[in-house]
Every structure is written in structure tokens, then in C-alpha cells.
């Protein structure tokens, strides 16, 4: 088995990533908890690079990081790269998006995920980006998932992320789409 250190402290993300890698010969290892990377980039891909490269360099192992978030069209792309910092907890962040959007007729939004794999020397090996288009509902629906899942409605599936099975979210989500692009490249990597 080959090991990838995953640069996240978010258990929801870790669980999803483990599913995506289930059929590969890579296994995930959580980054050391004392290793914190400041997300100072201005884009999803810049932040994913920062996290993957710094964790790889600090551990001397292959590392994977994603940076993701929700971009609401009528809010000029907010919360965007600030998605994780938009409120004190998931409920608070959802309330803020709903309050800021109010009854605005344009409900369109997208989830974006940038994914980076870094080599043990801290250089970028692979990158991929996935997007899932959807709409912001006026109130939350569904109990599964995490983050903004209950207010993110995916017309293609006629349900919110929080109403999907993990398999369905895996197929349609921004993270799933980024992984679909990354996995063949990851499998083809020559390491060691």
C-alpha cells in the first residue's frame, strides 16, 4: 500500500476521500494535528497547493489536499474561499448565506473543489478541479453530509446534497468530479 498524508482536519472530507481511494492501492493517513497550514491563497487551487506542499515537506511523505467551497452567483461568488470561515458552525454559516441571499430570484450557485497531490520534497505532482452546479434552497432539506449540504439543491438529481446517499454524492459532487480526474493520474504515478 502507498500512503498519502491528507492535509485536512475535517472528518467529513476525510470520510469522503477514503471512499474515493477505496479501489486504489493508496491509503490515507491524517496529517499530524500540530501541523497547521494557513490558507493565505486567493483561490481554491492556491490554497490546495499550500496545504499539500507544506504537509508533504513537513512529513517527508506524499500528501493530498483539497480546498473547496460554495460560490453563490448573486453574492458575487461568496462565501467562496471563505466558506469554512463564514460563521462559527455549519448552522451559522447556512443562516448567513440564506440571510444574505434573501428572496433574490437568482438562486444559482456552484461547489468548487481544487485537489493537489504533492511529492515528499514539497513540489506539486498532480492537480485537478471539479465543479458541481446547483441552486440555493430557501430553507435546509435533508440530514446527511456536512457543511452547506442541506441548502445545496442539485437539479440533475432533484435533491440536495444532504438528501443523497454517499454513493450519489460521490458521483455528482465537486469533490467526486475532481477525484475522477485525479485518480487515473494517481494510479499512473511512478513512486519510490
Q: In whole angstroms, what is the distance from residue 50 CA to residue 81 CA?
A: 13
Tell me: does residue 127 bind ligand IMP (CB under 6 A): no
Tell me: does residue 160 bind ligand IMP (CB under 6 A): no
Supply the minimum distance, in Å, between the C-beta of residue 140 and ligand IMP: 12
**Strand 2-6 and strand 26-30: pairing?**
parallel
CB 178 within 8 A of CB 128: yes
Tell me: does residue 145 bind ligand IMP (CB under 6 A): yes
Tell me: does residue 147 bind ligand IMP (CB under 6 A): yes
Q: Which of 10, 73, 110, 171 binds ligand IMP (CB under 6 A)?
A: 10
Nearest residue to 115 (alpha-carbon basis) of 31, 20, 192: 20
Supply the minimum distance, in Å, between the C-beta of residue 79 and ligand IMP: 8
The packing angle between helices 11-21 and 174-188, to 10°, is 50
Q: Which of 161, 163, 176, 178 binds ligand IMP (CB under 6 A)?
A: 161
Q: Of the two residues 10 and 73, which places its CB atom closer to ligand IMP in the complex?
A: 10
CB 101 within 8 A of CB 72: yes
**SS3 at position 154:** strand
Please tell me what DSSP assigns to residue 128: E
User: Restricting to residues 68-107, which ones interact with ligand IMP according to CB under 6 A?
Assistant: 68-70, 83-84, 93
What burial class does residue 94 get, using C-beta atoms within 10 Å of its C-beta: 0-12 exposed, 13-18 middle, 19+ buried?
A: buried
Q: Which of 127, 173, 177, 182 binds ligand IMP (CB under 6 A)?
A: 173
Neighbours of 108 (CB within 10 A): 12
Tell me: does residue 170 bind ligand IMP (CB under 6 A): no
Q: Of the two residues 39 and 57, which places its CB atom closer to ligand IMP in the complex?
A: 39
Instruction: Determine whether 67 is an active site residue.
Output: yes
Q: Of the two residues 65 and 125, which places its CB atom closer to ligand IMP in the complex?
A: 65
Q: Return the active site residues.
A: 67
Site for ligand IMP, rule CB under 6 A: 10, 39, 67-70, 83-84, 93, 111, 145-149, 161, 173, 175
Amino acid at each position: 500500500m502507498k500512503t498519502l498524508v491528507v492535509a485536512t482536519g475535517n472528518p467529513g472530507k476525510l470520510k469522503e476521500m477514503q471512499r474515493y481511494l477505496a479501489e486504489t492501492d493508496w491509503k490515507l493517513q491524517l496529517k499530524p494535528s500540530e501541523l497547521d497550514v494557513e490558507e493565505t491563497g486567493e483561490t481554491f487551487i492556491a490554497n490546495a497547493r499550500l496545504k499539500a506542499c507544506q504537509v508533504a515537506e513537513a512529513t517527508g511523505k506524499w500528501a493530498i489536499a483539497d480546498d473547496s467551497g460554495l460560490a453563490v452567483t448573486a453574492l458575487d461568488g461568496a462565501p467562496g474561499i471563505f466558506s469554512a470561515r463564514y460563521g462559527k458552525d455549519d448552522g451559522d454559516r447556512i443562516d448567513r448565506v440564506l440571510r444574505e441571499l434573501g428572496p433574490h430570484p437568482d438562486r444559482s450557485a456552484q461547489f468548487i473543489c481544487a485537489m493537489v497531490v504533492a511529492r515528499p520534497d514539497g513540489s506539486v505532482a498532480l492537480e485537478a478541479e471539479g465543479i458541481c452546479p446547483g441552486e440555493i434552497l430557501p430553507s435546509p432539506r435533508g440530514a446527511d453530509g456536512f457543511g452547506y449540504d442541506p441548502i445545496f439543491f442539485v437539479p440533475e438529481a432533484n435533491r440536495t446534497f444532504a438528501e443523497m446517499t454517499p454513493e450519489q454524492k460521490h458521483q455528482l459532487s465537486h469533490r467526486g468530479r475532481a477525484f475522477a480526474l485525479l485518480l487515473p493520474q494517481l494510479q499512473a504515478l511512478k513512486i519510490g
